[in-house]
Structure formats: C-alpha cells, structure tokens
Amino acid sequence: MICPKCKSENVTIQIVNESKLVKAHHSFIWWVLIGWWWTFIKWIFFTFPALIFKIFGIGSRKKIVNTQKRINVCQNCGHTW
Ligand SMILES: [Zn+2]
C-alpha cells in the first residue's frame, strides 16, 4: 500500500466497525421531566413486543449485519483515505 499523498509505503490499515451506537447524553432536568416515563414507554413499546417475538420465534432469521470499513492510515504524513 502506497500513500497517494506522499508516496510513502509506511501505511497501516485500520478496520473500523460502522455500526457503532452513539449514546446521547441528556441533562438531569430532561430525565426528571421526560426521561423516566419516556424510558418506560419505550420499554413497553419496544422491549415488550421484542420479548414476545423472541418467545414465539418471530424474526429469528434476522441478522445483525456489521459493515466493516477499511481505513488506510499513512504513518509518514498522517493522511487517511
Ligand atoms: Zn503519506
């Protein structure tokens, strides 16, 4: 692998998982006003049906697909592509 910027051969390949989940941080006030019941509603509407589906084997063929991305990092000039 040759860097397109400086033509150096000192290049490493990094494999980055694209299906990263970024957790949003909410303020304390948000949790007091909305957070507690919103989490409860979300649990009822998403976790509970998901559990039923799991028990009856519905959607068991579903697969979690992790797409991996290769990032080339030049150790000479720091160029990534
Ligand atoms: Zn380079």
Report how far residue 74's alpha carbon sits from residue 68's, in angstroms, rounded to the nearest whole number.
19
- Parse the chain into domains and list their residue ranges: 1-19+64-81, 29-60
Instruction: Of 13, 6, 3, 11, give the one whose Cα is nearest residue 70.
Output: 13
Quick: pLDDT tens for 10-24: 999 888 776 666 666
What integer is the mean pLDDT of 69-73?
Answer: 89
Q: Which residue has the higher pLDDT, 61 or 78?
A: 78
Quick: pLDDT tens for 24-70: 677 888 888 888 888 888 888 888 888 887 887 765 566 777 778 88
Which residues make Cβ contacts (< 8 Å) with residue 66, sequence separation at least 6?
Answer: 17, 18, 19
The answer to whether the CB of 79 falls within 8 A of the CB of 8 is no
Q: Rounded to the nearest whole angstrom, what is the distance from the C-alpha of residue 17 to the centroid of ligand 1? A: 23
Q: Rounded to the nearest whole angstrom, what is the distance from the C-alpha of residue 77 to the centroid of ligand 1? A: 4
pTM of the predicted model as reported, rounded to 2 decimal places: 0.37
CB neighbours of residue 50 within 10 Å: 13
Q: Rounded to the nearest whole angstrom, what is the distance from the C-alpha of residue 2 to the centroid of ligand 1? A: 8
Q: Which residue has the higher pLDDT, 25 or 6?
A: 6
